[in-house]
Amino acid sequence: MVSSSSEASGSDQPASSTPPAASAPVSAVPGLWRRMACWLYEGMLLFAVVFVSGWLFSTLGQMRDAMDSRRHLLQAFLFVVFGVYFVWFWTKGQTLAMKTWNIRIVDMLGRPVSQRRALARYLLSWVWFLPPLAAIAPFKLSGGESTVLIFGWVAVWAVLARFHPDRQFWHDAWAGTRLITSKPMSRR
C-alpha cells in the first residue's frame, strides 16, 4: 500500500495535489494550542530560574521571611532576571521551551531578533499579567478569585490572537516580532 506524502511525513494536514513549491511556507505560524503549551512549559522552566534567583537574593540579603520589607526589591530583581533570560534566548532564536515545541522567534522580515526588539517584546509581553494584577491590587480578593481573574485574562488574551491577520499574539505585533514553526536551531 502506498501512503500519501502527508502520511509519510507524519503531518496532520491532508495531502494536496499542489507541488511542494506551492504549498504552505516553512515559516508557518504555530497553532494557538502549541504556543500555549510552550507558554506553560516555559512557566515550569522559569520556576527553576525563580527558585535559584530568589534563593540567591534572599541568602545574600539575609531575608528572614516572605513579608520582609525588601520583598519589592526581590520582585524587581526577578523582573530583571526574567528580562535577561528572555532577551538572551530570544536573540539566539529560541528559549528551551521553544526548542521543545519547535517554535522560533524572528522579526517581521524573518531575521533574528535584535536585543532592542527582544527587550521591547519582553516589556510588552507583560500585558499577559499586568491588567489582571492591576485589577486585583485595590481589592482584597482571595487566592481562588485572583487565580480565576488571571487565568481568565490569559485565556481572553490568547484568543485575541485569532483577530490578528497573521494569528500572532498582539504583543508580538507591537514589538515587530513573529513566532514561526521551526526545528530547534543547532547547538553551536
Determine which helix (DSSP H) or strand (DSSP E) holds 103, and give its type and residue range: strand 103-107
What are the Cα distances from residue 72, in Å, to 49, 81, 141, 176? 18, 14, 20, 31
- What is the reported pLDDT for 19? 38
Q: How far apart are CA 140 and CA 137, in angstroms?
A: 8
* Residue 149 near residue 135 (C-beta atoms within 8 A): yes
Q: What is the pLDDT of residue 31?
A: 86
| pLDDT value of position 138 | 82
Report the pLDDT value the prediction gives residue 66, as an integer from 0 to 100: 64
Give, for all 188 residues of the chain, the pLDDT tens digit.
Answer: 444 433 333 344 444 443 333 333 446 888 888 888 998 999 999 999 999 998 888 888 777 766 667 778 888 999 999 999 999 999 998 999 999 899 999 998 889 999 999 999 999 988 888 888 888 888 888 888 888 888 888 888 888 878 877 888 888 888 899 989 987 666 55
pLDDT recorded at residue 73: 87
> Which pLDDT score is estimated for 22?
35
Q: Whole-angstrom Cα distance, residue 167 to residue 81?
A: 29
pLDDT at residue number 79 = 93
Chain centroid to Cα 141, Å, comes to 27
As a whole number of angstroms, the distance between CA 125 and CA 52 comes to 23
Q: How far apart are CA 97 and CA 94, in angstroms?
A: 8
CB 35 within 8 A of CB 98: no
What pLDDT is attached to residue 44?
Answer: 94
